[in-house]
């Protein structure tokens, strides 16, 4: 086994170019089942291949309690990639991210600035399996699933990444600031523009549209995101 740390081997944008690893869809024993064994960048040639292997992944204990691994949905060439925390019950049952009330609200927010999941958005989560009782995923679970997330970013190659909630911010940027402090600010990460935003579930718990409230702040953020997309698409 390599003496390099898993994090050092997970860099997507280093100077070396990874040689894609062929993982036939039916050869599941080739998937590293220990989170101590990294999945190198370039391992997957398509999102569908990655999704197939996620369904049999047991790199952490969450694989023992899931119904479905929830990999992603939306456009595979999306200019905007949205990262949530983890699947809930509806997502676990259907195998798709953001399909409950939070997802319905998210789609309405996007539609308000003429963005659609089918054309403009790819959605995934920090972890692909539902944590029991919808608890926050542990650092070990996040680390075990992070190679899949990094591969999704590489394959979709978005211009903008939206980080919904503190768990997503921490997983990508390492920042531990509270989401209320850093939401709506642009962070440059690996040559991409990232913005922390409120999770739709937080907006459902705070439905007031008054100025300065979470819903009002989210409206400011989504307009800034639309403007940034128009800018970087020129």
Using DSSP, state whether 120 is helix, strand or coil: coil
- Give the pLDDT score at 10: 37
Where b means 16+ CB within 10 Å and e means fewer, 141-177 reads bbbbbbbbbbbbbbbbebbbbbbbbbbbbbbbbebee
- Give the pLDDT score at 38: 79
- Please state whether the predicted TM-score (pTM) of the whole model is above 0.95: no
- Give the pLDDT score at 35: 74
- Give the pLDDT score at 20: 43
Distance CA 96, CA 106 (A): 14
Q: pLDDT tens digits for 57-84?
A: 999 999 999 999 999 999 999 999 999 9
CATH, domain range 6-232: 3.40.470.10
- Give the pLDDT score at 143: 94
Residue boundaries of the structural domains of the chain: 6-232
Closest CA to 127 of 157, 173, 91: 91
Distance CA 218, CA 202 (A): 11
- Give the pLDDT score at 216: 97
Distance CA 180, CA 203 (A): 12
Angle among Cα 33, 30, 47 to the nearest 5 degrees reads 90
- Give the pLDDT score at 31: 58
Using DSSP, state whether 180 is helix, strand or coil: helix
- Give the pLDDT score at 234: 85
List, for the chain, all residue ranges whose pLDDT scores fall below the cut of 50. 1-28
- Give the pLDDT score at 32: 58
- Give the pLDDT score at 13: 31
User: In angstroms, how far is CA 16 from the centroid of its own chain?
Assistant: 24
- Give the pLDDT score at 37: 75
């Amino acid at each position: 086994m390599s003496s390099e740390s898993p994090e050092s081997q997970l860099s997507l944008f280093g100077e070396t170019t990874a040689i894609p690893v062929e993982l036939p869809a039916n050869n599941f024993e080739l998937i590293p089942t220990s989170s101590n064994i990294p999945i190198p960048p370039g391992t997957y040639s398509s999102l569908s291949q990655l999704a197939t292997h996620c369904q049999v992944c047991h790199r952490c204990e969450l694989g023992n309690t899931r119904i479905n691994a929830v990999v992603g949905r939306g456009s595979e060439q999306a200019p905007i990639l949205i990262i949530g925390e983890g699947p809930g019950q509806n997502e676990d049952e259907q195998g798709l991210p953001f399909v409950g009330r939070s997802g319905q609200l998210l789609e309405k927010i996007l539609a308000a600035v003429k963005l659609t999941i089918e054309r403009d958005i790819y959605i995934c989560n920090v972890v692909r399996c539902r944590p029991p009782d919808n608890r926050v995923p542990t650092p070990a679970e996040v680390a075990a699933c992070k190679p899949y997330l990094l591969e999704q970013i590489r394959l979709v190659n978005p211009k903008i990444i939206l980080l919904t909630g503190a768990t997503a911010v921490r997983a990508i940027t390492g920042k531990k600031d509270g989401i209320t402090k850093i939401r709506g600010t642009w962070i440059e990460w690996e040559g991409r523009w990232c913005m922390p935003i409120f999770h739709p579930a937080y907006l459902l718990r705070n439905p007031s549209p008054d100025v300065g409230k979470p819903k009002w702040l989210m409206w400011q953020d989504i307009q800034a995101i639309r403007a940034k997309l128009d800018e970087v698409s020129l």
